[in-house]
Chains A and B, each alone.
Chain A
Amino acid sequence: MLLPYLLLGAILFVLGLIGFVTRRNLIIMFLCTEMMFQGIILNLVAFGRYPLKGAPTFDGQVFALFLIAVAAAEAALALALVVLLYRYQGTLDANAYRMLKDE
């Protein structure tokens, strides 16, 4: 019974990953990271509900709650950064920001 949820969580996670790697718009990239969070939340809760052994516990959900907090914090900073970068170079293209490139 656990398998479908885990599979679904994995699919969401990977799609987020693919989105992060392929999209060039900075905001969408961060959006995809949020999607990866969704996958993980689903995963956590599924494990909480159908633990491999023993009675179901709520730890999964507590973790999911924390995860949401972290996601919120991350989103706040990421967006602040994006705004800053946008004002700095006027573009959201990920390729434009290569200052750390090794000549």
Chain B
Amino acid sequence: MSVTLADATTTILPLRLYATLPFWPLLGALVVGMLVVLRRKASAAHWPVVLGVAASAVLAVVLFLDLRPTPSSAVSSPAAPSRAAPEPPSLLGRGQGEGQSAHPPGALRAPGLTYTLYNWISLGDQPSLRNQHWLAVNFYFDGLTAVMLLFVTVVSTIIVVYSIGYMRDHHGHPERGYERFFAFLGLFVFSMATLVLAGNFILLYLGWELVGLCSYLLIGFYYPRPSAAAAAKKAFIVNRIGDFGFALGIFALYWFLTAGADPLVQRGENPLDYATVFKCVGALEPWQITTVALLLMCGALGKSAQFPLHVWLPDAMEGPTPVSALIHAATMVTAGIYMIARCTPIFGASPLALNVILVLGLIGAVLTATMAAAQYDMKRILAYSTISQLAFMFVGLGCRVPDSAVFHVFTHAWFKALLFLGAGSVMHALGGVIDLRRFSGLRHVLPHTCRTMLIGCLALAGFPLLSGFWSKDELVHAAFERHPVAGLILLATAGLTAYYTFRMFFLCFHGKLRLPDDAAHPHEAPLVMIAPLWLLAIGAIFAGYLGVTFAAGGDSFLGFIRPHGVLHDYLHGSTIGAPEHGHGGLWLMYVSALVALAGIGLAWARFGQAPETDPDARALGGLWRLWHAKYYFDEIYDYAFVRPLRNLGRFFSATDDYGLDGVIWLVAAVPRGLSFLLHFLQRGALQGYALGMVVGLAVMLLLWNWIGT
């Protein structure tokens, strides 16, 4: 258990204890697994997992406080804005990598600690891969890890508590597969924590795939339903397509770092550890960095369901709602963003990759926002909105502001989880119905859900002073700085987001009370579901203030709030490094606030009374149908990839049965043919055989004579 300490150690708890963070949920999952094996149908089967996840949440909070940057380079005092001379756009001077996490001197120095558990895979013996033995299982602690862990574990705890109530039928008995659900949840939190904590690319890949597995298991929770089984398979395979690119990225990285006569990786260093990679990445040629960046980006596309590989997320709504909230809104889908943020030294050094990310982000944001505006299934709307918000983060990453992207991840986790859980409690009340056309006016029936959903919608729409506003605004601002057109597109999408969010809200809660016929008596969710909703609502409101500072001054919004708060400083210590943030453009805050309000207003105008027939459908007609049919991506992919491959498979199978087997049959046919020719001699006639003997004797004699002489 070697501990490689950077310049600072953790103060509150020893590092070993933090390293146990992911294993508590796993322990909980195993205990619940044992319950399943021993067939003890305890309705309290959820406790082990709840405790495990809570334990990891506590550890994460303590870790977050423990790793705060050292007071010397305190949180940006008023004088902080005078940045040093603007540094070259790339975060990392070429070949200037030094120290554990490369970031310019003088900025906030937070510790980057690597804690090695044990050596995992052997890479052949010594001289094989140029002096490198092992791929180790090691965890890497720094600012980014702490932030990610914080919201992952806390939101998970809240959702686990929520699902105690959700996974029970209306008279409180746990549903079939109750323990299995919690075991998978525990496994998921373990994998997500491992992913975030991973200290090298292999462990990241492990977490990456395990998270994909958990989403497969949880989407397919109601496996008797064929659509759920198919959705689970689709999710896993599309993720696998992303992982294929990701794996190639790792191989390429490995090849570039260790190839050639004098490898960059010195003796004994693990070529795939973050520390070594980010130290040596500067010395690679630009084309090498770009290929690695693009390949790693494929993984991010797959996992975060971005534009080309986004088709699996809407289908993932087949799983139970807490799953959608936890995995497909708050935590798993942000893994892609985390990975790109973590590899800022790589992505930062290749402008082409950043541009590709930017463009994909923009396309994804616009497309999915439009799709969301034309759906009726509440969870599908939220799913598309998640993809759209993730696309916002992608744009942020593309504009070299990874800390703003992570900040938006942080806030988005809270209000999107809140919205999903709200939709869950609506489904729970209406007995599984989630189609907005079949009910409306639920504000009186589900008061708490309505109020918390309102907060969530406001945050998502970017209503000023709520968390969504702060984080989304920074991204829009960065987009404008990068390129005005990008800024405009993002601003428009923000408005569209506000519009479809409140379209959903009004359709669901406003208008006269209409209930689906099979929902007999909808009742408000039990306390165990309402409490998490309120907790998340509070988070949705105040999560934003982590990213802003309260300092009166000319250039502050409403006179006393200035963007770029403690979270940013916190993140600067990590591998993200301190990007330069222009603080101008205060006007942009007011503009985006206005855009948000406009969106809400338009939604109120068109859907205020929850009309039966959809005004948009009438207004846009063809375009609306295109949006409703999700731009036919599923059908395109099916015809372009699935069917040809399957036909190729049939062709191969046919060549196998007839082609190759045919050759073998031909080879076997030669002796069979020969024997057929000779079988006429066996006619059974005694004298025939005698004649044969005579002729044989004669021939022998002839030969003997002929050879004899």
Contact = CB atoms under 8 A, between A and B. Distances in A.
Name the prevailing secondary structure of the B interface residues: helix
Nearest to B680: A102
B687 A20 contact: yes
B685 A94 contact: yes
Interface in B672-709: 679, 682-687, 690-691, 694
A101 interface: yes
A98 B694 contact: no
Contacts, number: 30
Contacts of A24: 687
Contacts of B691: 21
Interface of B: 679, 682-687, 690-691, 694
B690 A20 contact: yes
B694 A100 contact: no
Interface in A57-103: 94-95, 97-102
A102 B684 contact: yes
A17 interface: yes
Contact of A101 (B683, B687, B690): B683
A22 B688 CA distance: 10
B682 A97 contact: no
Contacts of B684: 98-102
B691 to A, nearest CB: 5
Interface string A1-41: 00000000000000001001110100001000000000000
19 contacts: A17-B694, A21-B687, A21-B690, A21-B694, A22-B687, A29-B686, A94-B686, A94-B687, A95-B685, A97-B686, A98-B683, A98-B684, A98-B685, A100-B684, A101-B682, A101-B684, A102-B682, A102-B683, A102-B684
Contacts of A95: 685
Contacts of A97: 686
Nearest to A97: B686
B462 to A, nearest CB: 91
Contacts of B686: 29, 94, 97
Contacts of A29: 686-687
Contacts of A100: 682, 684
B687 A102 contact: no
A102 B694 contact: no
Contacts of B682: 100-102
A2 to B, nearest CB: 19
Contacts of A17: 690, 694
Contacts of A98: 683-685
Nearest to B681: A102
Contacts of A101: 682-684
Nearest to A102: B682
A94 to B, nearest CB: 5
Contacts of B683: 98, 101-102
Contacts of A22: 687
A98 B687 CA distance: 11
Nearest to A20: B690
A98 B685 CA distance: 6
A24 B686 CA distance: 10
Contacts of B694: 17, 21
Given A98-B683, A100-B682, 10 more contacts: A21-B690, A21-B691, A21-B694, A29-B687, A95-B685, A97-B686, A98-B685, A101-B682, A101-B684, A102-B682
A61 B664 CA distance: 62
Contacts of A102: 679, 682-684
A20 B685 CA distance: 12
A67 to B, nearest CB: 19
A7 to B, nearest CB: 16
Nearest to B683: A101
A46 to B, nearest CB: 20
Shortest 4 CB-CB distances between A and B: which pairs? A101-B684, A98-B684, A102-B682, A100-B684
A98 B682 CA distance: 10
Contacts of A21: 687, 690-691, 694
